[in-house]
Copies of this chain bind each other. A is one copy, B any other.
Amino acid sequence: MLYLFDLLGCAIFAFSGALAAGRAKLDWLGVMIIATITAIGGGTVRDLLMNRHPIFWMQDPCYLYLTCLTGLATIAYVQYLPIPYHVLLVADALGLALFAIYGAQLAAAAGHRGIIVIVMGTMTGTAGGVIRDILSNQIPLILRKDIYASAAIVGIGIYLLLKKLKWRESWAFVAGFIAVVSLRLLALTLNWQLPVFNLR
């Protein structure tokens, strides 16, 4: 069940990566590469920092098949149908929430302190998008605007708090997940933004 969700999250992020690759005019292989990196980059950085080997996609190649296929499917899709930006934003919020809480769960299970759990979860949810933006030669989106990484941080905080209050793992997971999704979608709807630090 969680595994299926995880694959779904990968497909969503791969889709957003493939669209970014299209805007940067990459070739088909480049699209598959960017789609894959966007989807699995966050978990890879997490596994490297936490010294978890083999890296998750090296153990289970389904992830790579899925992201490459999603990249190709995206190319085919946009020839015929409009890009469903609204659906995509909701799907992306689901992917962010899932990856963030799942990454946090792994770090908590490894016995890390609260702040490390937050960093690992947030990184799992966002690092793929950061690498995608670096490869497309842009300042990473999540650093510039929007409640994105912050939604992940708050949701992981709630997950950790509920665990401390002795909630069952699965309930804390669901609550954290819902918190990230709600916060992200609320921020999009109401156009919430963090204040900007503008030096000149």
Residue numbers of A with Cβ under 8 A of B are 18-19, 21-31, 33-34, 44, 48-51, 53-55, 58, 61, 64-65, 75, 78, 112-113, 115-116, 119, 130, 134-140, 142-145, 149-150, 153, 193-200
Docked complex Cα distance between A50 and B69 (Å): 24
From B29, B65, B145, B193, give the contact of A194 (CB < 8 A): B29
Interface secondary structure of A, over-half rule: helix
Contact (Cβ within 8 A) A26 B197: yes
Across-interface contacts of A144 in B (CB, < 8 A): 24-27, 30
Q: State whether A137 and B139 are in contact (beta carbons under 8 Å apart), knowing that A27-B194, A144-B26, A194-B28 are contacts in the complex.
A: yes
Contact (Cβ within 8 A) B55 A53: no
Min Cβ gap A84→B in Å is 14
Docked complex Cα distance between A40 and B50 (Å): 16
Docked complex Cα distance between A67 and B143 (Å): 16
- Chain B residue at minimum C-beta to C-beta distance from A193: B27
Min Cβ gap A135→B in Å is 6
Q: State whether A197 and B21 are in contact (beta carbons under 8 Å apart), knowing that A51-B54, A113-B61, A150-B29 are contacts in the complex.
A: yes
Q: State whether A65 and B193 are in contact (beta carbons under 8 Å apart), knowing that A49-B58, A139-B137 are contacts in the complex.
A: no
